Structures are given as structure tokens and as C-alpha cells.
Structure 1
Amino acid sequence: MIKKMLILLLLLIIGFFVVSQENIKIIFSGIAIFLIGMYFMEHGFKLFSGGALQRVLEEFTNNNMRSLITGFITTTIVQSSSLISIIVISFLSVELISLARGIAIIFGANLGSTTTAWIISSIGFDIKISLFAMPMLIFGVIFRFSKNNTYIGLGNVLLGLGFIFLGISYMKDGFDTLKDSIDLASYSIGGYLGIFIYILIGAISTIVIQSSAATMAIIITALAGGNILYIDALALAIGANVGTTVTAVLASLSSNENGKRLAFGHFIFNISTGLIAVFLIYTLRDLVEFISPFIGISKDNYTMKLALFHTIFNLLGIIILYPFISQIVKLAEKFITDKYQKKSKPLYLAQANIKIPYNAMVSIQKETIRLYQFAQKAILHALSVHTSQLNNKEDIIKVVNQNIKIDTNLDNIYQKELKSLYSDIIEYALISQQNMNSEQSQYVTDLKHASNLVIKILKDTRDIQKNINFYLNSKNEFIKEEYKFIKTELVTFIFEINQLRKQFDNDIDEIEVSTIIQVDKDRLQNLDVIGNGRIDSLIKEEKITSKMATSVINDTSNAYEICANLLNVANILFIKDKKLRELGELEDETK
């Protein structure tokens, strides 16, 4: 209630100034148009890149230095550190990169975001930059009418740039008018007290606007119009950097623990960098004055000097904090611990990934593997096998022959633990498929099918669990051997799929993995007890009763289907190549 009242009060105050003050109205209009431009830029690059940003970030982040450089370059290109942060958080949520690499990318993104000041200040304020905006807006709208996502993305990027230039033009005109009526520079206090006040103003502005780029645009236009003093502009720039930490923290609230840890690393970097800049503000100002002539910045070009200052103190922060990334990671993990994850709660289905097709596919794949792992453990327990006992192939005979029983209610496990997770996977997959191309959507459809097979395997195991436990304790050695055989085959297939999983995790050649699946397909014939005539022989020789024979035929048939579906699941989850997956497919009733 209080929050709503404060928002209403803020809107009333803004409304009053917009109506009563012409110059304030122009400045606020410029800020609004600039933010619209940033929005179009972000969404445009998502479509225009066609997943290239994600692929670049994944490909070039195999060590901290490359991660830092990649963060700098990508942010410089897309002009949005928030977009890079969103992608990094989504990568962390599906464990595509480590937290240390993620923090290094954020370090680089902070430096990359300083190029905004260079671009705005280098355009110059003596020319009418709104003239550049018009052609971009026109062609942006034209491209938006295309049905091709790449052209729509390009249209959004052009619209974004056009609105950004138009917004800067409006802010410049507003500050020019404001200078004629109110001299803001005359209110400067001076000294460290004044610096801290302006840092606070810069931080609050960034928190309210939710864009450090927009805050820097306001500062530069105000400085260019002579509305604020140079030293105060430097303090505002520090404040803008500090303010982005709140934005990062707010964005991480809906993410998992790694997303929060990344925000923590971002917070540590920006706060530390801000403190360094405050402590050395006059030294850094003098350093800027010393460097400026060497890079062609004139003595009275304070907007370019502000851009240089912004870059220098961020670069200084990287130089000081980069060697301590591993310590920042440890600190983040200490303060933000992993919460207990229930089986029914998704671990990888981050909302941030839904609109990023590649990441959404990885999210669904990892969550389906997780669903399989939980189901597999329950199935082994239903067969009275502890997963910790199954380390190598020689252990299979030992666990099959051991005389223990694990009390496992598969119905209860499904209803209370796995049903909800399965539903979440299907719902997430359906929503994410709306943003995918046909090939991506087909792979997600295969993953949905794999999830369905996992649940079917669990239910089929439930159907034979009772008979396996009963007949393994039978006094009839012949029926006992038949059910021991069924149990051995089930445990063997699960064990071999675990080996496939290990090879998949270790990036073993997919052709080799596919070959193993083909070999296992041939082993399925061992469960064809009708075809091999084994049960007929037992009945004719009166070694088992007709009731026993009916049970073993039905249960062997179920075991055959369970093993076939296990191979289908492995084929989908652990082979990425579409053609290899098609070769490994087996017929099943759920297709």
C-alpha cells in the first residue's frame, strides 16, 4: 500500500513539472524517448543476432581473461550491459559457464558500457543530431514490416538508435532552455560534501531510470549545456556506476542462486570501483587532463574528458579486482548458499531463458536429464538396488543376487515428486517453442517425448515391481531364475545408459555413443521369451505353472518395453545430432 502511494506521489510530482515547466517537460520527454530507444536496441539485437550473442559468449569464455574481453566487446557492440547480464544469468542457470567466468564477463561489460559516453560525446552538440534519427526511424519501421526475424531485429536496432539520437536531441534542447532560466551550476557546494551529494543524485537517477546509459546521456547533455560543473559531472558518473548495482540486484531476485551470486559480484565490483574513484577523484581528474592532449581531446571539450574519466576509473577497478575473482566467487558462495532443492522444483527452467531459444533448449534438456535421474533412482530402489552400489559392470550380478528389499512406493514418488516437475518441463517447453525456429522446436518436441517416456518407464516398473519382489523369493528355482534374469536386464540397461551419460558429459564422439545404443538395441532380443521358446520349454517340462508362465511373459514384455524406452530416452538426451538420433530411434507405443 505504501509502495503504491509513493509511486502515485512520484507520478503527481512528475506530472506537475511536466505541465508547469516547459524545459522540464522537454528533458523528461528526451529521457522517455531515450529509454524507448534502449528497449528497441536490446530486443532488436536478440532477434538480429539470431542467437549469435549467445554462441559468442559460450564460445569465447573458456578462461577469465577471454571472458572479460568478450564482455567488453559484446557490450560495446550492443550498447547494453543489462542485455549481456541477462544472457550471462541465463548461462549460469543452465551451468554453461562457471560463476568466475560470469563475473569476468560482467567486469568487461562494465568497461564496455563506458563506450556509450564516448559515442554521445563524440557526436558533438553543435550539430542537430535529430537529423540522424529520422532516416533510422524511417528504415527501422520499414524493416519491422518484414516477416523475417533478422530484418525485424535490424528494424528494431535502427529504431532504437533513432530514438536514442532523438532523445539526446530533446534532452539537449531542454537543458539549453533550463540554462536560460535556472543556473544549476550555481547550486554546486564544492569539496567532498558536494561530490558525495552528486554521487547520491547519480545513483538515485540510475535506480529510478533503470539505465546507466540514460543517466550518462543526461549528465553529458547537462555538461555540454553548461548546466553543471565538470567536477560535479564526474561525481554523477560515479553515482551512475554505483546505481547499476541496485538494478543488477533487482534483476537477480527472480533468478537462481548463481544469478544472485553474479549480482553480488557485480555489486562488489561497482561499489569497490566507486570507492576508488571517489578517493582518487582529483587525481583521476588530473590524469585525464594529462592524457587528453595525447588522444586529441581539446582543452575545453569536457564531455570527452568525462567519457575518458568514466573509462579510466572502470579500467582501474578491473586492474585492481581482476586478480581477486576467485575470492569474490568464494565470498558469493559463502553468503548465498544453495537452498535445498525438492525433486518437484525445477532447477534449470529459468524464466530469463524462455525468449533465448538456444538457452531454452539447454534448460529443457538439463531438466529432462534431471527428471530421468530422479526416476532412475526410484526405479533402482523399486528393484531393491542402491545406486551407490552400481559402480562398474561387475557390480550388477552382486546387486541382483543380494537379498535385501528397499521399501519404494513408485505411485507416491510420481504423485508427490515427479508429476509436478514433469508438468513444469512440458509447460516451459510449450512456451519457449513460440520463440524457436522449426529445427529448434523439433528438438524440444523430442525432449518432451523423452520426459513422457521417463514417466512411462516409471509406471511400467511399478507394474512389474510386485511380481519381481514376490517371485525372487519363490521356492521354485526356475521362476526365480526368470525374474532374476528380468531384474538383471533392467539393471544392466540402466547401468549402460549411465555410462552413455558419462561419455556425453565428457564430450565423447557422438557417433561412438550412437553405436553403443545400436548394440544395446540388439540385446533387447534377450527379453523376447516367446520368440526364443524358453517359457514354452519350462511349461512343457512342468517346471513352472501356467499362472507363473503368464506372469513372466507379461512382465518380460513390460521389461522389453522399459529397456526399449530407456534406449529411446538416452538417444534423445545424450545425442545432439538429429540424423544420429533418427538412426537410434526405436518404435514405442507413445509415438
Structure 2
Amino acid sequence: MRTFFKPGWLPVALLVLLILFFWKVELATLAAGVALFIMGMRHLEDGFRAFTGGALERWLSRSTDRLWKSLAFGFTSTALVQSSSLVTLLSIAFLSAGLISLMAGIGIVFGSNLGTTTGAWLIALVGLKVDLASVAMPLLVFGVMLGRRAEAHWKGIGQVLLGIGLLFFGIDLMKAGFASFEGALNLDTYAFSGWLGVIVYLVLGLLATVLMQSSHATLMITLAALASGQLAYDNALAMAIGANLGTTVTALIGALGSNNAGRRLAAAHIMFNGVTAAVALLILPLLARSVDSMAYVLGIADDAYTLKLALFHTLFNLLGLVLMLPFVPLMIKVLMRWFPEAIPVGSTEIKPLVLSEQPRARAQYLNDSALLHADTALKVLDQELLHLAALTRQVIAAATYLPPAVLLGMPRRQLHEAVRAPVAATQRENADVLYERHIKGVYSDIVDFISRMDISLLPEQQQVLMEHNLAGRDLVEAVKAAKHLQKNLRKQLDDAPPAVRVSYEVLREQCGLALLALGRLEDIQGDAAAQAELFYEYEKQGKLFSAEFQKGVQLQLRNRDLDGWQATSLLNDMHYLMDIRRHLAMAHAVLAARGEVVEQVVAPYEPEPAEVEQPRKRERPTRTKPLARKNRKGGRERIEPSINLP
């Protein structure tokens, strides 16, 4: 659909529609009804998300631990929002973000297919027998009035009412459009019998769903045409199958912008709808007779074709569930083989190649499908920042000529000996090259992803997004500080006076100790007290080191072991090291919170009065609130006094 309506095709499509509208006013009425119906669905989706305050996303992640729960969730959510496309795309987004399992996603998609039958029953029972325009008008008025309110809750309710009103008004226009064809254009003359009719109307139903991106809209058109006598009952059955098959295109579009996890679910959806449609076509005469028998038992008249179509739609979707549910475990195995698992989140595996010779790094977890909802967008953003943090630690270790084993938790004694050993030529990598190759690409992808997050965010989600944005910036600033540190460090590795060389060895060792400390965060994930203690010790050790290093430089300066030029260079490079420590700590404090709001971060480095040089200007002010995190009971517990976070 998006490809068809590119700028080159759009004027042609509009001109053709304009000619058709002037040729037959009935077509304009019908098209307006379809347009209002689709617009109503969009308003209903947006309003439901705003009205529930993100509850749909939270229910999805919490209510899918069993297959039957996933089926129930898919059925219920589709019945509420009347959009299987929304629920399918939502499931793909949550699965790609790692918030639900593949089993849960398959259950949701299967249940969603059954949930589409509720719309057909609603219209067949009520919508085609009641003057929906009279019901729609007050809903439209109330929806517009409430939708202009600033409060998200009332605005969401207004969007829901406006969506329902547009749905009702669109259905009424579709009824009027088909009814006006009588005498002007009898579509019944275009009916086909036998398998030719089945194939033709199957394709029509599929194309209509692809163009409108809504099987509900196709079913409403089918029901309206059937009720007005413009469509034969047998052809309507085939069109309903085509509408169901057309929903796979929506899943396919969603999978194109997703990762392998999302593609697995899209493939499962295609398999389910494809198998269901194939079986329904093979036994279509038997299904039609079964519908007649069930209609007789339920007291449905022989000529109540709209009700019988709703019954048929329900029956063949139930048939699909019965056929496919026993094969879900086998389906999961096949899909996992087709779309293998990606690299684990936050992996810090050290590859054997020299870092500068490794492939250029780009974002691994960001995908377009995650932009559909706030929770999924924030989740993949958190995953990508973990990836960037792992790369940052590798680049800083390489920039300060530390052994790769420092990222794997090497003993402190071994680190002490390593920084005093000669640095091999293969270990002397250029920090500028490493930044361009492994940091800039990933960070630019993160910035681009955040710029495209035009979804509604709750206040706490906005705070988390702001903290994550600052965390990415802190990681980049840490690498830039390492680049500055390396400029002098590179010059002092071999021919520097002993006092200078030893001082730079101390700076490198302190950088390694910072990386070792932050590397332990993953081992204590979820333990807030242990994390607070780690950050507290991290900050205390940094302050102690800063004070002792400055005193040592001043003493060496008085003893003439250093001259003024060397002393100022060492103090400048100590500043860069403290910048590395501070930015790394601020970023890792946000990532350790795993989506919780971080209210205080590491205090900017404040030099002691005895320092030779004045500190550089800080880039952003600090807050003084204590670091806090929600406890299990929903309250907040104070963590004292961790790092001053920004």
C-alpha cells in the first residue's frame, strides 16, 4: 500500500477516484463510508492506548505466561479495539523487544484471529438493522469536545468516542452506498458460481484487505453488500476467507522493520492464516453445509445471510485453531531454525581480532516495529545502550592500552603487573579510529531512533527516555575523554622520565579499576543495595585517588622530579581520567536501573583547592535529589548516598 501511494502514483489514483465519484455518486458514498470506518479504527486505537495509559502494553507483558492466557488476551484485545492488525503489530513489537516469548506471541496472534469474528457478529446482529447515523452523531460531538481536553485521560476517552462514532457513521454510509446501487448498477449480475467465483472473490477480499490494511473494513463492506443483495452468499464466503488471508500482509510489513524474533511471529501468523484458508477452501462445501445445520439449530433463518456469514467466519477461524494448536511446539522449533537467535543483550565477549580490525559496529536491537509503542521503544533503546556501553568499555580499554582481559574481571594484582609491562605494538590502537568505527555509528543510530519516537509517552516514560538519552551522551563523552587522554599517553610510553612514566601507569591502572568495578554491575543486577554500595565505593575511591595523585604531583614538582610542563600535563590527563570515570558511572547507573527513573547521578568532579589548574566547564547542571528506585510495594526507597547522577 505504501509503495502504491508513492508521490508518482498518488495523483493518478486521486484522478481515477475523482472520475469514478462523478460518474457514480453511489461510489463516492461507499468510498466515504470506507474512509470513515478506517479513520474510526485509527482513532479507536489511539484513544484506547491513551485512555488506558499504556495498560494494553503492560497487560501484554504480564498476562501471557500460559498459552491459554495468550489466546484469551489476543481474543479480548481484538474484540475491544476491533483491530487484529494493531494486536498483531503490537505482538511483533513486544516479541522483538524481548518482552514476551514466542509461545505467547503465537497464542496472541491465534486468539486475535478469532477475535475478528466479534466485529462481524456485532454488525450482523445490530449494525445493519439500526440507524447507526443517529447513534454516531452524539458520539462524534462528545468525542470532539473531550478530545480537545489537555488531560490524557479525558483526551483518550474522547478519541475512543470519536472512533466509535466514525465507525458507526462509516457503516451507515456503506449501507447507503450499496443500497443506492439498486436499479443503477446491479452487482449481482457479476456473481460467479463454482470454483471460479471462489477464486475471484477470494482475490478480491485479499486485495481489499491489503489496500485498506483492515480485514474488519473488508468484512463490513462484504456484510453491507450482502445485506443489500449486491453480493451472492457463496461469493461472500470466499471474500471472507480472502479478508482473513489478507491480514498476513500487515504482519509481513511489520516483520520487515523488525528483528529475527519479530519475523518468527510474522511467519507464524502467515502459516496459521495460510493453512486455515487452504483447509477452508478444500472443504468449503462441507463448511457451508455445517453453517446451514448450525444456523438451523440456533434458529437463524435460511435467508439471514449476514448472520450466516458471521457464523461461517467464526467456524473457519475455530477450525484453524483446532488444526494448528497441537503443532505449536513444532512450529516454534522450525521458526527458531529459520530465524536464529541474535547475540545476547549486553554481551561483552572479547573477540580475538584487534579491535580496530573488527567490522564497523552499528545498532543491533533498534528496529522500526518497536516504534509502534512506548514500552517496546524504551525496551530496545535500553538494550542498544547496553550494547553501546559494552563497546564503550572495550574502546576505553584499548585507548588506554589495557589488556582485553580487564573487561572479563581480571584480578587487581594481574592488572597492576600488566600496566607496568611494555605495551606491545598490536595493543597500541588509535582511539580516534576506534571511536569512528565502533561508537559513532551506534550512537548515531540511537539518536535517529529517538528522533523518530513520535508516540505518546507517559510522564515517567518521558523521564526514562531523557535519562537514556543522557546515558548515551555520557558514554560518548567518556570515549572522547579517553581520546584526549591517549594523546599524551602515547608520547610517554617509552622514552618518558621515570616519574612521568610511573604516573601514567597509575592513571592507566585507575582506568582499569573503574572498568573492573562497572563490569561487576551485571553480576548484581536486581540487587539495589549492592549496586548502591558499588557506586558509593566507586565514587569514594575516585575522590581518594584524585587527592593522592595531586599531592604526589605537587611533591614531585617541589622535588624537581617533574617540571611545570610535565606536572600540568599530568593534572590535565588526571582530569580526563576523572571525566571518564564520571561519565561511565552516570551512564551505567541509568542502565543498571533497567527502566526505572534515576533521580540522582554522579556529582561532577570537583577539584581540590590545591590543584594547579582550574576545572573545565561542566556541560550540564546536577540535581541534588537522592538516587531512588521503586520498591516491590510500589513506593520509593532512598539509597544513600550513591553517586551524584546528572
- Fold match by TM threshold 0.5: yes
Alpha carbons 2:106, 2:265 under 8 Å: kept: yes
Residue 376, structure 1, aligned to residue 397, structure 2: no
What is the CA RMSD across the aligned residues, in angstroms?
A: 3.4
CA distance in 2, matches of 1:460, 1:153: 46
Matching of residues 444-463 of structure 1 within 5 Å? 444-463=465-484
Which residue of 1 is the match for residue 537 of structure 2?
Answer: 519
Unaligned runs of 5+ in 2: 344-357, 606-617, 621-646
Alpha carbons 2:582, 2:602 under 8 Å: kept: no
Question: Which deviates further from its counterpart, 189-198 or 347-356?
Answer: 347-356
Matching of residues 130-149 of structure 1 within 5 Å? 130-149=133-152
Residue 125, structure 1, aligned to residue 128, structure 2: yes
Which residue of 2 is the match for residue 190 of structure 1?
Answer: 193
Distance 1:552 1:29, change over 3 A: closer
Distance 1:8 1:558, change over 3 A: closer
CA distance in 2, matches of 1:238, 1:458: 57
CA distance in 2, matches of 1:55, 1:352: 17
Alpha carbons 2:398, 2:429 under 8 Å: kept: yes
Alpha carbons 2:90, 2:372 under 8 Å: kept: no
Which residue of 2 is the match for residue 564 of structure 1?
Answer: 582
Distance 1:46 1:542, change over 3 A: same
Distance 1:426 1:288, change over 3 A: same
The Cα offsets for residues 47-98 of structure 1, whole Å up to 9 and x where unpaired, read as 2222111111122233544333322221111111222233233324433334
1:432 to 453, 461, 465: 453
SS, match of residue 432 in structure 1: coil
Distance 1:24 1:444, change over 3 A: closer
CA distance in 1, matches of 2:7, 2:590: 49
CA distance in 2, matches of 1:159, 1:342: 51
Residue 510, structure 1, aligned to residue 528, structure 2: yes
Alpha carbons 2:204, 2:242 under 8 Å: kept: yes
Alpha carbons 2:116, 2:216 under 8 Å: kept: yes
1:269 to 269, 272, 275: 272
Alpha carbons 1:132, 1:162 under 8 Å: kept: yes
Question: Which deviates further from its counterpart, 73-82 or 435-444?
Answer: 435-444
CA distance in 2, matches of 1:278, 1:386: 65
Which residue of 1 is the match for residue 246 of structure 2?
Answer: 243
Which residue of 2 is the match for residue 358 of structure 1?
Answer: 375
CA distance in 2, matches of 1:14, 1:433: 31
CA distance in 2, matches of 1:294, 1:343: 67
Alpha carbons 1:86, 1:352 under 8 Å: kept: yes
Which residue of 2 is the match for residue 441 of structure 1?
Answer: 462
Distance 1:320 1:473, change over 3 A: farther
CA distance in 2, matches of 1:212, 1:365: 34
What code does the residue aligned with 1:382 have?
A
The Cα offsets for residues 414-442 of structure 1, whole Å up to 9 and x where unpaired, read as 23542343344345435537843444333
Alpha carbons 2:363, 2:442 under 8 Å: kept: yes
CA distance in 2, matches of 1:515, 1:330: 43
CA distance in 1, matches of 2:8, 2:481: 57
Higher helix share: 1
Question: Which deviates further from its counterpart, 373-382 or 437-446?
Answer: 437-446
Distance 1:510 1:303, change over 3 A: farther
What code does the residue aligned with 1:441 have?
Q
Distance 1:365 1:289, change over 3 A: same
What code does the residue aligned with 1:267 have?
I
Which residue of 1 is the match for residue 511 of structure 2?
Answer: 490
SS, match of residue 523 in structure 1: helix
The Cα offsets for residues 351-392 of structure 1, whole Å up to 9 and x where unpaired, read as 454563333333433333322222211111223345456433
Distance 1:245 1:183, change over 3 A: same
Question: Which deviates further from its counterpart, 131-140 or 14-23?
Answer: 14-23
Matching of residues 73-222 of structure 1 within 5 Å? 73-222=76-225
Alpha carbons 2:144, 2:162 under 8 Å: kept: yes
Alpha carbons 1:514, 1:584 under 8 Å: kept: no
Which residue of 2 is the match for residue 499 of structure 1?
Answer: 520
Distance 1:396 1:315, change over 3 A: farther
CA distance in 2, matches of 1:165, 1:343: 53
Matching of residues 270-289 of structure 1 within 5 Å? 270-289=273-292
Question: Which deviates further from its counterpart, 531-540 or 416-425?
Answer: 531-540
SS, match of residue 429 in structure 1: helix
CA distance in 1, matches of 2:563, 2:298: 96
1:56 to 56, 59, 71: 59
Distance 1:351 1:489, change over 3 A: same
What code does the residue aligned with 1:246 have?
V
Question: Which deviates further from its counterpart, 76-85 or 362-371?
Answer: 362-371
Alpha carbons 2:222, 2:239 under 8 Å: kept: yes
SS, match of residue 533 in structure 1: helix
SS, match of residue 528 in structure 1: helix
Which residue of 2 is the match for residue 412 of structure 1?
Answer: 433
Alpha carbons 1:471, 1:480 under 8 Å: kept: yes
SS, match of residue 100 in structure 2: coil
Unaligned runs of 5+ in 1: none
Residue 465, structure 1, aligned to residue 486, structure 2: yes
| Percent of aligned pairs sharing the same letter | 30
Question: Which deviates further from its counterpart, 309-318 or 91-100?
Answer: 91-100
Residue 230, structure 1, aligned to residue 225, structure 2: no
Offset of residue 203 of structure 1? 1.0
Offset of residue 551 of structure 1? 4.3
Distance 1:81 1:386, change over 3 A: farther
CA distance in 2, matches of 1:582, 1:17: 60
Count of aligned positions: 587
Which residue of 1 is the match for residue 619 of structure 2?
Answer: 590
Offset of residue 189 of structure 1? 3.1
Structure 1 length-normalised TM: 0.88
What code does the residue aligned with 1:365 have?
D
SS, match of residue 453 in structure 2: helix
CA distance in 2, matches of 1:130, 1:433: 33
Alpha carbons 1:102, 1:262 under 8 Å: kept: yes
Distance 1:128 1:578, change over 3 A: closer
The Cα offsets for residues 226-270 of structure 1, whole Å up to 9 and x where unpaired, read as 332322211110011111222332344344444444333322221
CA distance in 2, matches of 1:89, 1:343: 28
Offset of residue 500 of structure 1? 0.8
